[in-house]
Structure 1
Amino acid sequence: MNSEDQACAAAHQTVRPRQTATECSSCWLREPDGIDVNDIAAWLTKPDINQWFDFGQGRQTLPVLAVRLMMHSDRHRLRVFGPAGHEVASGLVAVSDLAHAFGTASFWVLRDSQRPACRDMTFAASIRLLRETFDADRLHCITAWAVDCNERSRRLLERIGFHSIGLQRDCHVIRGSRFGRVLYDLLPGDLDNRSTRGDNA
């Protein structure tokens, strides 16, 4: 195992064991409130979560003020989600960098593995937000990326219907080792052709 493989394995090992997913009929999705803003900022202070992100110029965290500004900006659409029967949010799905002139934006998602979950929760929340964004903002293309060793995120994106369009090499750092980012895009029709395989996310 080379140094990059060891670093990637270590990155996954820092993730605490997931709460076992339970079957549920639905999950909820809503705009963040004041409590959620604090949760989002707190989630992004955790190395096992923020190591997968880049919010520009190498920033991997978002302070509470930045999250609040995003909530009230027309350049971002943020939604928290959780399983039916639980009021506290378990994760966030987001579309950022909305460029209405070109009909484009970028998608990202995070989930707290220590909070309640149900089968396909992240997938269902992602699909609902993406449909809402395509319809409400009349977008033509939404992009996303995942670190090349982040297999879970890559599986989720591909199940949603995102298409891999290339690899940006040697551009992401985890624990001092460098990795690539797999680039994806999604058109409105791709949501209708998505796989029906479960990812237990």
Structure 2
Amino acid sequence: MLTGDLVRLRPMEPSDAAAHHRWNHDPDVMQWFAHSYPVSRERFVDEYADRPKNSYERTVLGIETLADDRLIGLVVLSGAEPETGGAELDIYIGEKDCWGNGYGTEAVRLICRYGFDALRLHRIELWVADENAAAIRVYQKVGFVEEGRARDTLRRNGRWHDMVLMSLLEGELKD
């Protein structure tokens, strides 16, 4: 487990499926994510136990508060390649009452530190919607910088949005 002052990152358990399903079907939580088709809770739970185990190529960890051991979200490092030393980061806080409390910032720092130290990555990148200002602030606070944009990539509420490519190199992580 990776532990900070506010959260710990831990492997996802089959018992986490119900919360994960709820988050994935909450339009506020998923506002800036690419949508998939709805999946029944029963099917989601049944398939959850068959998810691939964590590996160098893909690590999925739950974000749990230290104060009350409550699962509030998840963080993913995927596409890690030893040849390039790179991986892609995804994160979301699914419990809306936990937004804006520093949990996401600490989770990003913890997973990036893990990526650089344990996985020996050199570069971590992510894509974020241009209007997701709260997420962009978190990433900048941790040290991510904007590298470029994919124009009109995500359609929400009748408008097209750019997706911003941000990256963090080994040695740039801010505490």
Q: Tell me which of 92, 116, 128 is aligned to 1:110.
A: 92
Percentage identity across aligned positions? 25
- Residue of structure 2 equivalent to 1:7: none
Paired residues of 2:63 and 2:107 also in contact (CA < 8 A): yes
In structure 1, stretches of 5+ residues that fail to align are: 1-24, 197-201
- Residue of structure 2 equivalent to 1:84: 66
- Residue of structure 2 equivalent to 1:100: 82
Alignment of 1:53 onto 2:33: yes
Alignment of 1:27 onto 2:27: no
Q: How many residues align?
A: 167
Distance in 1, Cα, partners of 2:137 & 2:169: 18
- Residue of structure 1 equivalent to 2:120: 138
Report the residue type matching 2:145 in the other structure.
Answer: H
Distance in 1, Cα, partners of 2:111 & 2:19: 19
- Residue of structure 2 equivalent to 1:163: 145
Deviations along 1:79-133, one digit per CA (max 9) or x if unpaired, are 1123223122011121112222211111111112445578422211211111112
Report the residue type matching 1:29 in the other structure.
Answer: L
In structure 2, stretches of 5+ residues that fail to align are: none
Distance in 2, Cα, partners of 1:155 & 1:44: 23
- Residue of structure 2 equivalent to 1:124: 106
Q: Tell me which of 39, 47, 72 is aligned to 2:19.
A: 39
Give RMSD over aligned pairs.
Answer: 2.7
Q: Tell me which of 159, 167, 172 is aligned to 1:185.
A: 167
Report the residue type matching 1:97 in the other structure.
Answer: G
- Residue of structure 2 equivalent to 1:15: none
Paired residues of 1:29 and 1:81 also in contact (CA < 8 A): yes
Structure (1 or 2) with the greater helix fraction:
1
Paired residues of 1:91 and 1:111 also in contact (CA < 8 A): yes
Report the residue type matching 2:27 in the other structure.
Answer: P
Distance in 1, Cα, partners of 2:124 & 2:49: 21
Paired residues of 1:37 and 1:68 also in contact (CA < 8 A): no
Paired residues of 2:93 and 2:99 also in contact (CA < 8 A): no
**Normalization by structure 1: what TM-score?**
0.72
Report the residue type matching 1:164 in the other structure.
Answer: E
Shift of 1:190: 0.9
